[in-house]
Amino acid sequence: MRAKGISYDTGFVPGGTGTVERFDLDVVRRELEIIRDDLHCTAVQLVGGDPERLERAAACAAELGLEVWFSPYPLEMTAEEMLALFADCAERAERIRRSGAEVVFVAGSELTVMDRGFLPGDTLKERLDALLGRRELAAEAGKRVAAFLAEAAAVVRERFGGKVTYAAIPFEPVDWSLFDFVTVELIRSAEVADRFQEGVRALVAQGRPVAITGFGTATWRGAADVAPRSMEIIEYDEDTGLPARLTGTYERDEEGQATYLRELLEIFEAEGVDSAFVHTFALPALPHRPDGDPRDDLDLASLGIVKVYADRDGDTYPGLRWDPKPAFAAVAACYGK
């Protein structure tokens, strides 16, 4: 693969809350150095909802020689709000690109279900419920998304001189002639495992460079079989909307997560995928709590390849509040070949 990458969360801001409460640029730089040197990544997908955080992280990544996939991630936004976000971020990404860095702008992800105006419903759950079994509704939503992406691509290209893409859900009908990469959030579950590699091959056969984003699985036994839904074991606080506990008791299976990522990266390499971005490096909102009630160990639901601690530093990298899982070594081995 040309670009060997991982996604890095700079903080989402749905409902006024964030997945990364503390944005320490010194920590960001150190983690990006680890991503480059120890994970052997050549690229990083910087994801989040705060344009300033994205730009600052992108500047760090660029200085370290990483290819930057600048990925504003709108959540629960209207079309007008998204266009304003993309315009702002495109100008910021262009500043990074003009410094000499290789920068790709990702104009959103999974918009059909993650944002407002394409499907009925004010929440993700309502939109997903509306979509189930209603092909005509999916077709109508697809037309709206296609029209929006044409407008979004124009807005971005007016301000950004590099390559542009969109991270699609497989069922979204994207006009890829608008973009420089076919980029798909492609996650293998047991239901599609027998035809997953064939699907990757078909994407590559289209002739445009293919990037795979969003693939990963949680850390409980059996998560890989339901990988797109492996975070659904989280119970959320009704008042804050933040993760509170797990829905039950689950067995930790760190090796299962590592095997899953290794297998997918080997498929992507074999089928000629241009770029791959493991999801994800860390999810601070899902800390590892090995002691006490097993339902409090939110890391079991995390797709992060490191386990984050809520109240202490890790042992591997002094001063950083996480330790690698076996998935970290698996990704490093695949990328370091």
Residue in the block written with tokens 């690229």: 43
The mean per-residue pLDDT over the stretch 305-327 comes to 96
Distance CA 125, CA 130 (A): 8
pLDDT at 37 over 50: yes
Residue in the block written with tokens 């409460």: 21
Percent of the chain with pLDDT over 70: 97
Per-residue model confidence as pLDDT tens digits over 149-183: 999 999 999 999 999 999 998 888 899 999 999 99
CA angle, 302 as apex, 73 and 235 as ends, to 5°?
90
Distance CA 12, CA 28 (A): 15
Phi then psi dihedrals of residue 220, to 5 deg: -105, 155
pLDDT at residue number 19:
64
pLDDT at residue number 32:
98
Global pTM value:
0.94
Q: How confident is the model at residue 16 (pLDDT cuts 50, 70, 90)?
A: very low
pLDDT at residue number 270:
98
pLDDT at 320 over 50: yes
Per-residue model confidence as pLDDT tens digits over 58-103: 999 999 999 999 999 998 888 999 999 999 999 999 999 999 999 9
Per-residue model confidence as pLDDT tens digits over 244-289: 999 999 999 999 999 999 999 999 999 999 999 999 999 999 999 9
pLDDT at 185 over 90: yes
pLDDT at residue number 18:
45
pLDDT at residue number 15:
40
Q: How confident is the model at residue 143 (pLDDT cuts 50, 70, 90)?
A: confident
Contact between 218 and 283 under an 8 Å Cβ cutoff? The reply is no
List the structure tokens of 105.
């702008």
Comparing 64-68, 138-142, 232-236, the range with the smallest average pLDDT is: 138-142
pLDDT at 14 over 60: no
How far is CA 254 from each of CA 34, 118, 190, 224, rounded to the nearest angstrom?
20, 37, 18, 11
List the structure tokens of 142.
């697809």
pLDDT at 120 over 60: yes
